[in-house]
Amino acid sequence: MPPGRPLRILVCIKQVPKAQDLQVDPKTQTLKRVGVPSEINPPDANALEFALRMKDRMPAEIVVLSMGPTSFDESLERAVAMGADRAVLLTDRILGGSDTVPTAHALSETIRKIGGYDLILCGEETTDASTGHVGPGIAGHLDIPQITYISDMEIVDGRVRARRTAEDGSEWWETAMPCLLTVNFGCNRPREPTLSGKIRVKRGGVIVHWSCADVGIDPNKVGLKNSPTIVAKVDTVHLPPRARKMFTGEPREAVAQLLHALVEDGVIRP
Amino acid sequence: MIEHHNALEGKSHFKGVWVFLEGRKGALRDVSIQLIGEGRRIADRRGVTLTGVLPGYRVEALARHAIGYGLDRVIVVDHPLLEIYRSRPFTKVMATLIHRDKPEIVLYGASKNGRDLGGRLHAVLETGLAADCVKFDLDDEGNLDMIRPSFGGKSLAHILCKQHRPQMASARRNVFLAPSHDPARAGEIVHQTADLSEADLDAKLLEFKEFVREGGQRPDEAEVVVSGGYGLGDPKNFGMLQELADLLGGAVAASRKAVDSGWIPKEFQVGQTGMTVRPKVYFAIGISGAVQHLAGMQESGKIVAINIDPKAAIFEIADYGIVGDLFQIVPELIRQLKELKAPGLPTEILPAAV
């Protein structure tokens, strides 16, 4: 950490439809999306909480960054109310339809413009698109180290040590700053907005909106037509119907019927 | 940057299907083996060769072994600095090889390392990468149709990368069948050097601690999974699920809410950001059934739901359901299972056929 100034942490967030409220319509077998409220992508909220906990322990400035329509202000305001210092929204019609390549490009250009960062934190993936590609993509563009899927971190002698969750174990990695970390979904419990935070939001001036021109992003590198991938079509999945047989009565009776059915099916052996 | 990579006329320079081979502790990751089988199918349909790419250290024997799964050749990049997976040197090696040899398709396992690598690499190469694919096809123009679940697995999105090359995708584990191994299969080993120095080691692995699972069974390998959710109310109640799982020879798992609550480690989480399981029987106990959870278990053989809320979404996809207090039902289930397992004991409440 550079001496004499607070640690500067950038947290990248996305606003997504609220995950818990997404349920399947049993009749149409499609997602009920009408009227679903938005939230900060939950893994990003974990990344923000991660940053806030660092700020609890040491002098730090937290800048939250997002890319999307101005309705994303809702999530940026919440982030500031939770304790972030300020927020930047990259918002421009020409960004519409960007896949992960232009998104990583546009965000990394915006991060260059913000400048002076020590740590960039992202959620491990979004709950709506769930690629997990943007965080490492930003690190690639900025040519800085990345440590993905982390759940714990400390700064020792000006270097980052982070615990990464692999499939078969946990790894402790050490790297220099600046670096980018992607944070595990559910590794902490994001705090609620505070009263003083809400007052700061109300006073205004905590969120700035930048266009691609403000940042100096080449319009020929972003948006739908500059995205390598397209979604050609979407098929609704028709899973085989389930019996949906309910066993009722006293627990003893219901359980006996359940076990009988499972034994009959041959999936458990008596 | 790749020359002509954005131009349609440059597309024809890109040929062949590559599979990134991920080594772990001297073996290939199972998803890499599964991808060789799928890569073979795609390469045959395109009429091109199938190449495995294996960056590592002292991996020649592993490369020879990999050929047996159906590869035509393996590009081995053997270097001490590639002994373990690290983002920067692996990205550098893959980017260099892709720039030089111009494969048309590159496939990765959607493991943590595969996503870490693919995410960084696709941005550097400025080409498309579809995440977590479960199926591949070819469209009329010969583009790779990369099919992946979207929104919790309720729909399948067909992703195309029409004008950029290579077309890249990561594939989910345990979706594609592992091909059989033919030790006599002939294939070429191509050694490539890596221009790496200590400066590329921008991250250092200090410690690795292997997860130890009680009972040794992983939920994604078990035939029976007993999964607990927020309805359990307390971490200690997982003990009851473990007892049930032990009786059934299965493994314990959990919903995201239970993991979020800190009751059980994340490596037990089933769902969109956890693992996908396909056991013969899946017990969802105190799990309401958000789509993100369903995404990880909806392909189970039989689904049993136990929940106090008769309107819980989990019942919609359950074969069998019991509405009630799990703290009465699970102990009763354990009790009756013990009776079933103990021959000679009266089973008066069970039908004679059992």
Verify that A208 and A80 share a domain, yes or no.
Answer: yes
**Contact yes or no for A63/A51 (Cβ under 8 A):** no
Is A252 in Cβ contact with B128 (below 8 Å)?
no
User: Over the stretch B119-145, which tens digit does the pLDDT of each residue have?
Assistant: 999 999 999 999 999 999 999 999 999
Residue A202 and residue A166 share a domain: yes
Q: What is the CATH number of the domain that holds A173?
A: 3.40.50.620
Pair A264, A208 in one domain: no
Class of domain B214-341: alpha beta
Q: Which of A229, A262, A264 has the highest number of chain B CBs within 10 A, making it the mutation to test binding with B?
A: A229
Whether the pLDDT of residue A125 is over 70: the answer is yes
Q: Are residues A130 and A260 in the same domain?
A: no
- The 10s digit of each residue's pLDDT in B314-344 is 999 999 999 999 999 999 999 999 988 776 5
Residue B328 · residue B315 · CB < 8 Å = no
Q: Where in chain B is the domain with CATH 3.40.50.1220?
A: 214-341
Q: What is the pLDDT of residues B143-167, one digit of tens each?
A: 999 999 887 667 889 999 999 999 9
Residue B272: per-residue pLDDT: 78
Span B78-88, average pLDDT: 96
Residue B350 to residue A260, Cβ atoms within 8 A: yes
Using a 10 angstrom Cβ sphere, with 0-12 exposed, 13-18 middle and 19 or more buried, the burial of residue B15 is middle
Taking only the tens place, the pLDDT of each residue in B200-221 is: 999 999 999 887 655 567 888 8
Residue A105's closest chain B neighbor by CA? B123
Could you tell me if B56 and B75 are in contact, meaning their C-beta atoms sit under 8 angstroms apart? no
* Domain that residue A247 falls in: 240-270
B272 vs A193: which has the higher pLDDT: A193
% of chain A beyond a pLDDT of 70? 92
Q: How many domains does chain A have?
A: 2
Rounded CA gap, B159 and B142, in Å?
Answer: 13
Q: Where in chain B is the domain with CATH 3.40.50.620?
A: 8-195
Whether the pLDDT of residue B229 is over 70: the answer is yes
Q: Percentage of chain B surpassing pLDDT 70?
A: 92
Task: Quote the mean pLDDT of chain A.
Answer: 91
The model's confidence at residue B267, banded by pLDDT at 50, 70 and 90, is: confident
pLDDT tens column, B18-64: 999 999 888 999 999 999 999 999 999 999 999 999 999 999 999 99
| CB < 8 Å from A in window 27-86 of B | none
Residue among B153, B255, B174, B242 at smallest CA distance from A185: B255
Indicate yes or no: CB of B321 within 8 angstroms of CB of A105. no
Q: Flag if A228 and B266 touch (Cβ within 8 Å).
A: no
Burial label, A50 (beta-carbon count in 10 A; 0-12, 13-18, 19+): buried
Structure confidence at residue A33 (pLDDT): 58
- Using the Cα atoms of residue A193, residue A196, residue A199 and residue A200 in order, give the sign of their dihedral: negative
Selected for mutation to probe chain A from B316, B341, B348 (highest A CB count within 10 Å) is B316
| Judgement on whether residues A259 and A137 belong to the same structural domain of the protein | no
Residues A17 and A126 in one domain: yes
Looking at the domain assignment, is residue A232 inside a domain? Answer: no
A215 with A247, same domain: the answer is no
Residues A146 and A267 in one domain: no
Please give the ipTM for the structure prediction: 0.89
Q: Which of A150, A159, A227, A258 to mutate to test the interface with B (most CBs of B within 10 A)?
A: A258
Would you say residue B350 has pLDDT above 50?
A: no
The verdict on residue A234 lying in a domain is: no
Residue A2 inside a domain? The answer is no
Q: pLDDT category, B81, cuts 50, 70, 90?
A: very high
Q: Is the pLDDT of residue B69 over 50?
A: yes
Smallest Cα distance from A204 to chain B, Å: 33
Band of the pLDDT at A30, cuts 50, 70, 90? Answer: low
B347 has a pLDDT exceeding 70:
no
Q: Check whether B349 has a pLDDT greater than 50.
A: no
Residue type, A239: L
* pLDDT confidence band for A124 (50 / 70 / 90): very high
Is there a single domain that holds both residue A55 and residue A90?
yes
Whole-number average pLDDT of chain B:
90
User: Is B160 within 8 Å of B143 (Cβ atoms)?
Assistant: yes
Looking at beta carbons, which residues of chain A come within 8 Å of B336? 252, 255-256, 259
Residue B75 pLDDT > 90: yes
Between B266 and B106, whose confidence is greater? B106
Q: Which residues of A touch B202 (CB under 8 A)?
A: 145, 175-176
- The verdict on A128 and A250 lying in the same domain is no
How do residues A31-84 score in pLDDT, each as one tens digit?
Answer: 555 667 899 999 999 999 999 999 999 999 999 999 999 999 999 999 999 999
Chain A residues whose beta carbon lies within 8 Å of the beta carbon of residue B255 = none
Q: Which amino acid is at A170?
A: S
Residue A110 has pLDDT above 50, yes or no: yes
Does any CB of chain B come closer than 8 Å to the CB of residue A233? yes
Question: Hunting for tokens 């290579």 — which residue is that?
Answer: B166
Superfamily name with CATH number, domain B8-195: HUPs (3.40.50.620)
Alpha carbon A39 to its chain centroid, in Å, reads: 10
pLDDT tens digits for A188-236?
989 999 999 999 999 999 999 999 999 999 999 999 999 999 999 888 7
| Number of neighbours of residue B185 by Cβ within 10 angstroms | 14
For A58, other C-beta atoms within 10 Å of its C-beta total 10
Q: How far is CA A101 from CA A97, A211, B90, B169, B228, in A?
A: 11, 18, 19, 14, 38
Of the candidates B155, B205, B224, the beta carbon closest to that of A234 is on: B155
The Cα A149–Cα A158 span in angstroms is: 21
Say if residue A151 is in the same domain as residue A97: yes
| A36 in a structural domain | yes
d(CA B268, CA B246) in angstroms, rounded, equals 16
Report which DSSP code applies to A20. Answer: T
Quickly state the pLDDT bin for B5 (edges 50, 70, 90): very low
Query: Is A153 in the same domain as A246?
Result: no
Strand B27-28 and strand B23-24: the pairing is antiparallel
